[in-house]
Amino acid sequence: MTVAAIQMTTGADRDANLAIASDLLREAAAGGASVAALPENFAFMGVKEADKQAIAESDGAGPIQDFLAATARELGLWIVGGTIPLRTATAGRVAAACLVYGADGARRARYDKIHLFDVRVSEREEYRESATVMPGGTPVVLDTPVGRLGLAVCYDVRFPELFRRLGAAGAQWFCLPSAFTAPTGRAHWETLLRARAIENLCYMVAPAQSGVHANGRETYGDSMIVDYWGRVLARLPRGRGVISARLEPARQEETRRTFPALSHRVLEE
């Protein structure tokens, strides 16, 4: 019942990024992980946001999807594929799709990032993700070897109502592939991860981007695995690497029984 989170510093060379991801996934599998999660934009981070159009794939076909399926099958490893750009019906906008593959290489789920990062971080740092990305609208929960998984991506973590919806659908753990900016990461990353875990009595697995990328943007890193009580089980503050932790659903369920905060909710949707 071990899950791994992978941290990368993704660049603008897709094939080089996939080679690095392959090495890290193999490391996760060798360490005994049943599921390994890659960060947001693991396959490509270009100089401009619009650059992702050049590597965008049709749903179900393309080098990145082929890589995820083949690697999962070869390693006998479930893979949460961070996000990749998939074409949409709207010209100039892609979906930021988190794809999950089973150990047989079959795709088990697709979640399109719902909340898009349209934010002015500082006088010199501003993002308009909605200019190139089409938002999703459907929460996704699925069964995995380490429990029922609720999917979210990066900026989604600031919207607790999504995680309530995932929890109501039976999620035992959340996976949050991310590329948090350095300023917002310093201010809020750990607090948000632990809050979402505590308030839902769920594990949180958050693989992240870390370092300076081709466009000069710096991401925060600090990939983290947090348990249902808010305890940090593993973390990698900076650089490239793999962290892992054992999830214990029986202890989690016992805590939910003895501390039944979820059943005490009054103001529900």
CA quadruple 254, 4, 165, 120: dihedral, nearest 10: 130
Catalytic option among 98, 154, 175, 202:
154
- Sequence-distant (≥ 6) Cβ neighbours of residue 160 within 8 angstroms: 195, 196, 199
- How far apart (Å, rounded) are the C-alpha atoms in residues 7 and 41? 11
The first and second tokens of residue 25, run together, are 């996934």
52's tokens: 């992702």
Nearest-5° angle of CA 146, CA 148, CA 149?
95
Total residues found in the chain within this entry: 269
Catalytic residue among 40, 52, 57, 202: 40
Residue 174 φ/ψ, nearest 5 degrees: -110, 145
Check 57, 113, 175, 202 and give the catalytic one.
Answer: 113
- Whether 246 and 231 have beta carbons less than 8 Å apart is answered as no
175 is catalytic: no
CB 138 within 8 A of CB 165: no
User: Which token pair is 182?
Assistant: 């350095």
Integer-rounded Cα Rg, in Å, for the chain is 17
Q: Which of 223, 224, 174, 231 is nearest to 203 (CA)?
A: 174
129 catalytically annotated: no
Nearest residue to 225 via CA among 203, 240, 210, 255: 203
Identify whether 126 is a catalytic site residue.
no
Catalytic residues: 40, 113, 154
